[in-house]
Amino acid sequence: MSRVWNFSAGPAAMPQEVLDRAQREMLEWNGSGSSVMEQSHRGKRFVEMAAQTEADLRTLMGISADYAVLFLQGGATQLFAQIPMNLAAEGDSADYIDTGHWSSKAISEASPYLHVNVAASAKADDYRRIPTRDNWQLDPGAAYVHYTPNETIHGVEFHEVPDVGTVPLVADMSSSILSEPLDVSRFGLIYAGAQKNIGPSGLVVMIIRRDLLERAGRPMAKIFRFAEQAANDSMLNTPNTWGWYLAGLTFQWLHALGGLSVMAERNRAKAELLYSTIDGSSGYYRNPIDVPARSRMNVPFTLHDSALDATFLKEAETAGLLALKGHKAVGGMRASLYNAVPLEAVQVLTAFMRDFAKQHG
């Protein structure tokens, strides 16, 4: 078997070391005589593993006791509706920053539950930049401010945490969590689908300030209420045990590498190599995003002639470079450079891009 270089936007590449360990432990986990997927989530082994996974994440991100850490079923899209249901009461409003496909979708899904104030938007600029903070029209009485630090599809990223005063800041970090050190204390709530930088799909990691759990929110079933999940250690119902286990292995892998400062340097090197290849191609390849807003995690690019797109993708796949087709909303190409994508993969990709330009220029 020969593994390819995987640039998928999600579900995305996972660390080889994590997959190797999961393979070794598939039939015999932790001396139990069965796999982790066959264990009761109430059993001693699983409960200990879950507690250690949370502890490892707290250490990696510097999460204080003021925050609860939840491991929830589903995906971040489900949270687009659950967040206003939990954090806002009838008649409340919330501020949203519109920087791309996913923040726009969050706005749409929140709208049935509260008044959405789009405090800033880059839609008029085709989501090629981040709206300058000075121009945001924030409401000091908002229930919260929601933003998407990294837009997976459009390839824009906030490189600083925005100051929103005392209003709780809520962030969809699905595609940037664990990619660099983060001051968690700046946030009221952080949530992330696992399938980009944490593990397999079907799991969401949430970090929520405990005082926000006390908000009454809207009438809803217990399964949707964050406070109920926190009170039951994310086991109000049977959790995604496989995803939780793999998240734990990923956190251990990050610790072994040296933590998030080391990962930040790795991610910086990968992004710089790809962007320098695009910018140095004399227009053969182009990235449409304003340079200060370029994403480290997701790099969209186009060829000078879109008629070559199919040839590029076919030859790339033959070369062992997988999932480079851009999202249908923007077209072109996209390379996702999440934590598990090694520098060697980007070196192979950029060498291929230079060779392709020579052969088809």
* Mean pLDDT (the chain, rounded): 97
Mean pLDDT of 317-334: 96
Spatial separation of the C-alpha atoms in residues 316 and 320, rounded to whole Å: 6
Nearest to 156 by CA among 290, 279, 287, 294: 294
Q: What is the pLDDT of residues 9-24, one digit of tens each?
A: 999 999 999 999 999 9
Q: How confident is the model at residue 2 (pLDDT cuts 50, 70, 90)?
A: confident
Catalytic residue check, 196: yes
Q: How confident is the model at residue 361 (pLDDT cuts 50, 70, 90)?
A: confident
Q: Can you give the pLDDT at residue 324?
A: 98
User: Per-residue pLDDT for 226 more than 70?
Assistant: yes
**DSSP annotation of 143:** S
The single residue of 172, 244, 270, 325 carrying the catalytic annotation is 172
Distances from the Cα of 315 to the Cαs of 241, 352, 357, in angstroms? 39, 9, 12
CATH architecture of 16-257: 3-Layer(aba) Sandwich (3.40)
Q: How confident is the model at residue 3 (pLDDT cuts 50, 70, 90)?
A: confident
Q: What is the pLDDT of residues 57-103, one digit of tens each?
A: 999 999 999 999 999 999 999 999 999 999 999 999 999 999 999 99
User: Per-residue pLDDT for 41 more than 90?
Assistant: yes
Distances from the Cα of 354 to the Cαs of 51, 130, 306, in angstroms? 47, 30, 17
User: Per-residue pLDDT for 116 more than 80?
Assistant: yes
Catalytic residue check, 242: no
Q: Can you give the pLDDT at residue 56?
A: 98
Q: Can you give the pLDDT at residue 1?
A: 53
Nearest to 173 by CA among 220, 163, 183, 258: 183
**DSSP annotation of 200:** S
Residue indicated by tokens 């340079």: 291
The single residue of 92, 95, 196, 270 carrying the catalytic annotation is 196
Spatial separation of the C-alpha atoms in residues 53 and 56, rounded to whole Å: 5
Superfamily in which the 258-360 domain is placed by CATH = Aspartate Aminotransferase, domain 1 (3.90.1150.10)
Catalytic residue check, 98: no
The single residue of 92, 102, 244, 325 carrying the catalytic annotation is 102
List the domain boundaries for the chain: 16-257, 258-360
User: Per-residue pLDDT for 222 more than 90?
Assistant: yes
Which tokens belong to 157? Answer: 């990223």
Q: Can you give the pLDDT at residue 158?
A: 98
pTM score over 0.85: yes
Render the burial of 245-256: b for 16+ CB within 10 Å, e for the rest: bbbbbbbbbbee
Asked if residues 298 and 289 have their Cβ atoms less than 8 Å apart, the reply is no
